[in-house]
Structures are given as structure tokens and as C-alpha cells.
Amino acid sequence: ICGASAIVATAPGIRAKQEEVAYAIANITVFGIAAMFLYPYLANALFGGDQALGGLFLGTSIHETAQVTGAALMYDQTFGVTGSPCCADVAVVTKLVRNLSMAAVIPFMAYLYARTDPERTGAATGGTGWVRLVPLFVLGFLALAAIRSIGDGTLGGGGLALGFLGEGAWGDVISRTKQLSGYTLTTAMAAVGLGTAFGSLRGLGLRPFCVGLFAAAMVGVAAFVAVLLLGPLVSI
């Protein structure tokens, strides 16, 4: 659902061992980075250059939010997408909506483990707290989206954006915020690279990676089928 965030949030509820957490994070790191570089070209080929469908595919098929964003930006830059909504807009919103499902899926997984293996679950220690189920960046996204929507709405009604900003000032705020987001996104993508230590993955063996490869492939296939079936129903 959300790469390392979902793994870390799920681990306490099922009493996952440290090496199991490491296996899982190694898998989403390796296959997520591979998808980040390959899926933009695959999306363009599968959906005939439709950036909206490509964004839906990237947002549903790649593990980490940063990887989704990187893949979508690569799509836009490689295939010259300049309009709005661009592939990155669609992919990021799709991924953030997908992230919200952690609030339902993680407690359900803990419940299933509690029924099948009560000694291994976190039921006795309180399990996973609700605060940890939704990443802070999702809350930040929702807050900023609400501010932008309220600002545009109040300005469009002939008033001042947020009650105190004129049209020129509001446009300047939006422009500067977009500029800042570009810098912070570059920093985030660099952090993905700095956090990837391939040397630490050597002792994990092949079995976890075979499972990860199969799971990543199934997620990609499921995303492709879902976009084919439901994509035409989405109005963007």
C-alpha cells in the first residue's frame, strides 16, 4: 500500500521480527526503484500516451509514494507532458488515496493474525496505534489541498482568497509554493537514493526476493486491469 510506511505500521500488530521487516523493506526498495525507471515507458506504451491513464497506473502499481512521484515526473519529462492535469498530478493523488486504505487494512491484518496466531500478535501489548496508521504526509496533502480549494473558491466568488489575499498575491503564493515543492521533491528523491544501501541486502537470500518479485508483478497486473476497466469511468 505505502512501502516502508505500511511495513513499519503493520509490524507491531503482527509482532514481525526485525529481519522480516528488513526483508520487506528490501523488497519494496529494489522492485520499487526498478518500477520507477521502467514503468513510465510501460505506461506510455500500454495506454497510448494518455497521461491520465498513465498516472492512474503509476499511482496504483508502484510501492513507495516517492517512487510514484519520481516515475510520474519522469513520464512527464520524457514524453513532453505540459498540460494540467499532468501525469504527476494524477499519480500522486491516486497514490495518496491508496495510502489512506492503511487505516482499514492494517487493523484488519492485525485482527486476522490475532485469530490465527495469538502468541505472535501485538494484542497483549496494545497493537498498532491509530495515529500511526496514516502517514503525516497524507495529512499534510489533505490540509494543503483544502487550503488551495478554499482559497480558489473564495477568490472565484469575487472576494479575497482565504479572506485576505488578492488575486495577484494568491497567484504569487501558489507560484512560489510550486517552486518550493520542486526543491523539496528533489531532496526527497535524493533521500531515496541515500537510503538505499545495496550492500546490506546481500545476506537476505533469494526466497524473499522471489516472493517480492511475484508480488510486485501481481500488483502491476492488477493495476493494469483496474485501469483498463475503471479508467474510462474516471473524469479528470
Return the SS3 of 161.
Answer: strand
Quick check: is 12 in a domain? yes
Quick check: is 173 in a domain? no
Q: Which helix H or strand E contains 149, and what residues bound it?
A: helix 136-156
d(CA 67, CA 34): 9
How many residues are recorded in the chain? 236
Quick check: is 193 in a domain? no
d(CA 129, CA 116): 21
Quick check: is 219 in a domain? yes
Instruction: Give me 58's grid cell.
Output: 503509476
- Along the 236 residues of the chain, how does pLDDT read in single tens digits? 887 778 877 887 788 877 778 788 888 888 999 999 999 999 999 999 899 999 999 999 998 888 999 999 999 999 988 777 789 989 999 998 888 888 788 888 888 887 776 565 444 444 455 555 556 666 777 788 889 889 888 887 778 888 888 888 888 998 898 788 777 767 766 776 676 666 666 666 778 888 889 999 999 999 999 999 998 888 77
Quick check: is 196 in a domain? no
d(CA 222, CA 66): 21
Quick check: is 156 in a domain? no
| Domain with 106 in it | 3-134+201-233
Start-end of H helices in the chain:
3-10, 18-46, 51-61, 65-78, 87-100, 102-116, 136-156, 167-194, 207-230
Quick check: is 37 in a domain? yes
Return the SS3 of 230.
Answer: helix
Residue type, 166: G
Answer yes or no: pTM beyond 0.75. no
d(CA 77, CA 82): 8
Return the SS3 of 165.
Answer: strand
Quick check: is 9 in a domain? yes
* Domain tally, the chain: 1
Neighbours of 165 (CB within 10 A): 16
d(CA 94, CA 67): 13
